[in-house]
Amino acid sequence: MSDAITGPLVRAKNLSRHYEVSGGFFGKRASVKALSNASFELYAGKTLAVVGESGCGKSTLARVVTMIETPTAGELDLDGYVISADNELSDSQRSQLRASVQIVFQDPFGSLNPRQSIGRILEEPLLINRPDIDASQRESMAREMLAMTGLRPEHYERFPHMFSGGQRQRIAVARALMLNPKILVLDEPVSALDLSIQSQILNLLVELQERLGLAYLFISHDLSVVRHMADDVMVMYLGRVVESGPAQTVFSNPQHPYTQALLSATPVADPSRKQTRIRLQGELPSPLNPPAGCAFNPRCWKTEERCRGTAPALEADGSHSVACYYPMQ
Amino acid sequence: MPLLDVRNLTVEFKTADGQFRAVDGVDVQVDVGDVLAIVGESGSGKSVSMLAVMGLLPWTATVTADAIVFDGLDLTTATAAQRRSIIGRDVSMIFQEPMSSLNPCFTVGFQIREALKTHLSLTRSQRQSRAIELLEQVGLPEPVRRLKAFPHQLSGGMSQRVMIAMAIACKPKLLIADEPTTALDVTIQAQILELLLELQTSTGMALVLITHDMGVVAETAQRVSVQYAGQKVEEQSVGTLFADAHHPYTHALLSALPERANSRRLPSIPGVVPGQFDRPAGCLFSPRCSFADERCETVQPTASASSLGHARCHYPLSKGVPLARAELQS
Ligand SMILES: Nc1ncnc2c1ncn2[C@@H]1O[C@H](COP(=O)(O)OP(=O)(O)OP(=O)(O)O)[C@@H](O)[C@H]1O
Ligand SMILES: Nc1ncnc2c1ncn2[C@@H]1O[C@H](COP(=O)(O)OP(=O)(O)OP(=O)(O)O)[C@@H](O)[C@H]1O
Ligand SMILES: [Mg+2]
Ligand SMILES: [Mg+2]
């Protein structure tokens, strides 16, 4: 759609996804604010990483960006189409967009149908979305994709259980690429893998990005992987973006205390470097009953009265933004 | 004399396609107060070798060893009663899958109190207060309330901490922790590792830590043992291992760390671990090793000198370069 090479492929404005659940106090309806007010841009050939601890809303964001779920508020501009709570797309727009945004799930074991051959798995997206392509063409496209993702021609007839974890993750990447997407959402693509297999998959992703100009929304809790892959980083806590900016800047000069704590808690594979750790108290509060004010305040060592009042807004200083009343100096 | 001394441990499984050797001649020595990390590719026999020490493998497994001695007692010849008095009390284990190792039918408190009842002579109220103390130690908020909870009412991270509380309940001399923090967030992981190290320094508890996280190894362990396809291929102190790995597998593994990358392309190990039917005749790593020659393909290497990290390799590396045969002989 958008031919301008310089424009972003994805632009999110105050994107939110809340879930109504009946698990509140005294069985009252309550709302889980899984994602609140996320704004970001993603460009062709670039990687935006989303980091944060379990339950902070990373997968929710992935589901919204891949149109598995619609946002409950805010606006998502995907490759020129605008999606929002009150702007449903037509079916044809939707299927066109589905082709340009694809997702690779975390679990290389659960996400492949065990009864389908690899060839069938790769051809299925074409079968559903591209009625104009005939069977023999589908097969040759699937075989081409096997080669591109480092799999072998004889794998075409085989079934998922015959593959190692790393190979299955290659298959998942291959399947996601069948419709020629521009945007790939990667939800923890290497966290189930061994170090040696992890490096094979990361290399594959780098190579495909360089070759095809793909934009990656890269979700991971492993900061050393993020540091290696990302151009930009977005740090989330309890459904909100607390810090974002170029990866270099955020890693070398973290402004939010949570980002600092996360960085200091991440073990470094270098025994000669003994780092002093920031000790956080307690754990992530329940998203059903988040603390008033800044959600991080009960665990933060810099908390003042103000932090328990209203939540700080994300303030930009150039390309680096932080949501904190007392950012690090 | 080491606290745990395992010599030439081999474990074979009976499978539909014949015998499968999951652990192949592994030695493990752990001293009082030691922190030993065991690392290696998935499926390299890390869990199975420690389950063998605990005597917890299914009947399909055949365990052989020259010796498995714990605290002076040879477990291969000990009576069932002798084993029962040690396993679970002096040696305890945190299992890789926390969800499957808690009984879903009983409350957390019941399970912790049962563990205490089996091994220690405490009164009812002593058991209750010890259970509360344990949950506090592992950083679970509201311990009294948590004791009444059933496992499914806890998050993954909380169950993991309950498992740890149970494992340290009887103040073990040796704790085997199999991926104790993989299911946890990094901030919680940091708290748990700190707790384990605190127990190790204050009580002299020895710790065997199975993990694939090299960051955790670097920050927690004193010594590292590297396994590949059922064999121990290298063992060194943590500092020297990260600075100068002698086995090509260890070297390749460490080079694959993203934090060591100096370009966007990471060095990676081609291929996969050999399976049941394609085990090479010579060195098990030879099909994937960039230094392998004909000798490696045909002759099984033995462990080299301790100065070379006991590397099971014909041409151990020094600073990433294989030592020539002449150098080794001189
Ligand atoms: N369908 C749903 N209904 C109600 N709550 C939900 C639903 N989906 C997610 N949540 C809640 O929203 C929050 C964010 O979940 P999400 O899966 O996005 O987290 P995450 O960052 O991906 O975590 P993880 O690292 O564990 O994968 C969690 O508290 C979760 O329980
Ligand atoms: N009960 C069993 N029957 C047959 N084979 C088994 C059994 N348990 C384990 N194995 C095999 O033994 C080998 C070693 O398994 P083990 O669980 O020790 O690996 P690991 O090094 O702990 O791997 P990971 O890092 O994935 O936990 C694997 O090939 C596994 O498939
Ligand atoms: Mg998730
Ligand atoms: Mg294991």
A26 pLDDT band (50/70/90 cuts)?
A: low
- Look at residue A1 in the predicted model and tell me its pLDDT: 45
Please name the residues in contact with B203: beta carbons below 8 A apart, sequence gap of 6 or more: B171
* B168 within 8 A of B161, measured Cβ to Cβ: no
Q: Give the closest ligand to the alpha carbon of residue B26.
A: 2
DSSP of A163-207: S-HHHHHHHHHHHHHTT--SEEEEESTTTTS-HHHHHHHHHHHHH
**CB distance A238 to ligand 1 below 6 Å:** no
Query: Looking at the partner chain, which of A164, A270, A277 has a beta carbon nearest the beta carbon of B218?
Result: A270
- Look at residue B283 in the predicted model and tell me its pLDDT: 97
Residue A54 in this model has a pLDDT that exceeds 90: no
Best residue among A17, A18, A19 to mutate for probing ligand 1, ranked by most atoms within 8 Å of CB: A19
- Look at residue A2 in the predicted model and tell me its pLDDT: 45
Q: What is the pLDDT of residues A139-193, one digit of tens each?
A: 999 999 998 898 888 899 999 988 877 888 889 999 999 999 999 999 998 887 8
Q: Which pair of structure tokens corresponds to residue A35?
A: 């994602």
pTM: 0.90
Closest CA to B180 of B52, B28, B34, B50: B50
- How far, in Å, is the centroid of ligand 1 from the Cα of B178? 27
Cβ A202–B266 below 8 Å, yes or no? Answer: yes
Q: Which residue, among A161, A196, A209, would best test binding to B if mutated, counting the most B CBs under 10 Å from its CB?
A: A196
Best residue among A15, A17, A56 to mutate for probing ligand 1, ranked by most atoms within 8 Å of CB: A56
The β-bridge partners of B283 are none
Q: What is the pLDDT of residues A4-20, one digit of tens each?
A: 457 899 999 999 999 98
Measured CB to CB, residues of chain A less than 8 Å from chain B are: 53-54, 164-167, 194-196, 198-200, 202-203, 206, 221, 223-225, 227-229, 261-262, 265-272, 274, 277, 279-280, 282-284
- How far, in Å, is the centroid of ligand 4 from the Cα of A112? 23
**CB distance B304 to ligand 2 below 6 Å:** no
Q: What is the pLDDT of residues A242-259, one digit of tens each?
A: 999 999 999 999 999 999
* B313 within 8 A of B300, measured Cβ to Cβ: no
Parse chain A into domains and list their residue ranges.
3-322
Alpha-carbon span B192 to B180, nearest angstrom = 9
Cβ B238–A271 below 8 Å, yes or no? Answer: yes
Would you call B37 helix, strand, or coil by DSSP? strand
- Look at residue A16 in the predicted model and tell me its pLDDT: 96
The architecture CATH gives domain A3-322: 3-Layer(aba) Sandwich (3.40)
Kindly give the parts of chain B with pLDDT less than 50: 326, 330
**Average pLDDT value over all residues in chain A:** 90
Q: Give the closest ligand to the alpha carbon of residue B225.
A: 2
Alpha-carbon span A194 to B79, nearest angstrom = 39
Q: At what angle do helices A118-129 and A165-177 cross, to 10 degrees?
A: 20
DSSP of B144-173: HHHHT--GGGS-HHHHHHHHHHHHTTT--S
Residues of B in contact with A272 (CB under 8 A): 239, 242-243
Residue A25 in this model has a pLDDT that exceeds 70: no
- Look at residue B292 in the predicted model and tell me its pLDDT: 95
Q: Atom 18, ligand 1: which residue's CA is nearest?
A: A57
Mean pLDDT of A10-36: 84
Residues of A in contact with B217 (CB under 8 A): 269
- How far, in Å, is the centroid of ligand 2 from the Cα of A221? 26
Cβ B259–A270 below 8 Å, yes or no? Answer: yes
Q: What is the pLDDT of residues A85-110, one digit of tens each?
A: 888 788 888 888 888 999 998 776 67
DSSP of B52-100: HHHT---TTEEEE-SEEEETTEETTT--HHHHHHHBTTTEEEE-S-HHH
Running DSSP on this structure, what letter comes out for residue B253? H
Residues of A in contact with B219 (CB under 8 A): 267-268, 271, 274
Q: What is the pLDDT of residues B253-308, one digit of tens each?
A: 999 999 998 898 999 888 888 877 888 999 999 999 999 999 999 999 999 999 99
Q: What is the pLDDT of residues A188-238, one digit of tens each?
A: 988 878 888 889 899 999 999 999 999 999 999 889 999 999 999 999 999
- Look at residue A91 in the predicted model and tell me its pLDDT: 84
Alpha-carbon span A83 to A78, nearest angstrom = 8
Q: Which residue, among A47, A188, A198, A199, would best test binding to B if mutated, counting the most B CBs under 10 Å from its CB?
A: A199
Least confident piece of the model among A277-281, A305-309, B46-50, B229-233? A277-281
Q: Is B278 on the interface with A (CB under 8 A)?
A: no
